[in-house]
């Protein structure tokens, strides 16, 4: 069984969209989306520096657009399940037919702006905690007042909180663990994002929503969601609640996953999968050069989804 996944914020790098815009029709599609949401996606994906694309209001629509563009370049694919990490869940909602691409980009633009506003209230951020005993790591974060915002599996937990709390974590690491500060502009998936929930809920009320046509695995609890309305409700609540990517991967295993493709800008989720899902074939769509390998994987593993 093939699973198609979309990465979250932090996966973007300067210029990563450039090779994708050379594909037939890609520049026109990006231009249409840019006009629809009032953001020059081509500029930010090709010319902007790391600080510019770190901006939450820019990074989130840029990531969704890149994911959709790379899947369009793949051609016909019917995965056995779809999922996304954090903002990647909106990309996955398009894969599953819950939203159309223009509606999804408008929704994620609103999400990014609202979360950026919430992040401006106080100085907050996130750090990856790699290694250590998971239970001990969670207890350690709790003692420091931090939230386990992403429980990613494969020995990776992302802590979120104030700058002071994260500085304390850097000085007082959990036993046998490394701490790496992440290039994100806020404590996402925590109560610090609560002010953005109402804004997103209002935007969601105006969406045209369909039920998923593919199995959609949710960050909230790793469960498959069959109602489009429930998918949207979870997307709204998700911004102030932890991402349980570990539970998503447990569901992939239960469903018999044999291959996983991560859409552009791929790498993060395939890296986790290589550690947490041994034996599962993976391809990360980093550039169009990866499309041939992804198509080969589809030919071998997507048949079980038919």
Per-residue pLDDT tens for 266-278? 999 999 999 999 9
One domain, residues 64 and 146: no
Residue 136 has pLDDT above 80, yes or no: yes
Given a cut of 80, is residue 179 above it in pLDDT?
Answer: yes
Given 57, 70, 86, 218, the catalytic residue? 86
> Residue 61 sits in a domain of what CATH number?
3.40.366.10
Q: Is 2 exposed, middle or buried (0-12, 13-18, 19+ CB in 10 A)?
A: buried
47 in the same domain as 152: no
Q: Predicted confidence band at 32 (pLDDT cuts at 50, 70, 90)?
A: very high
Same domain, 279 and 249: yes
pLDDT at 304 over 50: no
* 169-193 mean pLDDT: 93
Going by C-alpha positions, the residue among 249, 247, 253, 251 that lies closest to residue 262 is 249
* Number of separate domains in the chain: 2
Q: What is the pTM of this model?
A: 0.94
pLDDT number for residue 115 = 95
277 and 291 share one domain: yes
CA angle 86, 236, 43 (to 5 degrees): 55
Backbone angles phi, psi at 15, to 5 degrees: 80, 5
Q: For the residues 179-206, what does the mean pLDDT come to?
A: 93
> Is residue 204 located within the same domain as residue 275?
yes
Single residue among 154, 181, 208 that ends a domain in this structure: 181
Given a cut of 80, whether residue 305 has pLDDT beyond it is no
Q: Does 159 lie in the same domain as 99?
A: no
Share of the chain above pLDDT 70, in %: 99
Is the pLDDT at 282 greater than 50? The verdict is: yes
Is 43 designated active site? no
Q: Which residue has the higher pLDDT, 182 or 66?
A: 66
Of 181, 214, 229, which residue constitutes the final position of a domain? 181
- On average, the pLDDT of the chain sits at 95
Cα-based distances in Å from 59 to 44, 56, 123, 184: 9, 5, 18, 9
Judge whether 86 counts as a catalytic residue. yes
Q: What pLDDT does residue 183 have?
A: 79
94 and 44 within one domain: yes
Q: Find the domain containing 132 and state its range.
A: 124-181
Q: In the listed set 164, 181, 198, which residue is the last one of a domain according to the structure? A: 181
Tell whether 230 and 138 lie within a shared domain: no
Contact 82, 95 (CB under 8 A): yes
Q: Are residues 241 and 154 in the same domain?
A: no
Rounded Cα distance between 155 and 275, Å, is 9
pLDDT tens digits for 239-257? Answer: 999 999 999 999 999 999 9
Q: Looking at the structure, do residues 147 and 236 belong to the same domain, yes or no?
A: no
Angle separating helix axes 26-37 and 101-119, nearest 10 degrees: 50
The per-residue pLDDT for 172 is 96
Please pick, among 140, 189, 192, 301, the residue that the annotation labels catalytic.
189
Asked if residue 83 and residue 21 are part of one domain, the reply reads: yes
40-83 residue pLDDT tens: 999 999 999 999 999 999 999 999 999 999 999 999 899 999 99
- Is there a single domain that holds both residue 13 and residue 57? yes
């Amino acid at each position: 069984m093939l699973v198609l996944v979309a990465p979250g914020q932090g996966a973007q790098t300067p210029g990563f969209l450039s090779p994708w815009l050379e594909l037939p029709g890609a520049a026109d599609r990006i231009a249409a989306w840019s006009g629809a949401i009032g953001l020059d996606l081509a500029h930010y994906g090709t010319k902007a520096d790391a600080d510019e694309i770190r901006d939450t209001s820019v990074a989130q629509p840029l990531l969704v657009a890149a994911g959709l563009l790379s899947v369009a370049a793949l051609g016909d694919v019917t995965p056995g399940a779809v999922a996304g990490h954090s903002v990647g869940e909106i990309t996955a909602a398009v894969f599953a037919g819950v939203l159309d691409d223009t509606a999804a980009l408008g929704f994620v633009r609103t999400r990014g702006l609202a979360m950026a506003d919430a992040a401006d209230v106080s100085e907050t951020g996130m750090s990856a905690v790699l290694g250590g005993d998971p239970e001990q790591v969670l207890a350690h974060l709790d003692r420091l007042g931090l939230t386990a915002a992403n429980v990613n599996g494969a020995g990776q937990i992302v802590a979120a909180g104030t700058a002071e709390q994260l500085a304390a974590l850097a000085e007082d690491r959990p036993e046998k663990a490394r701490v790496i500060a992440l290039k994100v502009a806020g404590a996402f998936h925590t109560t610090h994002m609560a002010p953005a929930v109402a804004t997103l809920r209002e935007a969601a009320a105006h969406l045209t929503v369909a039920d998923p046509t593919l199995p959609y695995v949710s960050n909230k609890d790793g469960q498959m969601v069959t109602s489009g309305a429930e998918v949207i409700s979870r997307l709204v609540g998700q911004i102030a609640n932890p991402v349980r990517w570990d539970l998503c991967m447990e569901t992939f295993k239960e469903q018999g996953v044999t291959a996983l493709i991560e859409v552009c800008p791929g790498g993060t989720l395939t890296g986790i999968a290589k550690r947490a899902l041994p034996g599962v074939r993976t391809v990360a769509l980093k550039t169009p050069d990866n499309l041939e390998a992804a198509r080969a994987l589809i030919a071998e593993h997507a048949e079980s989804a038919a």
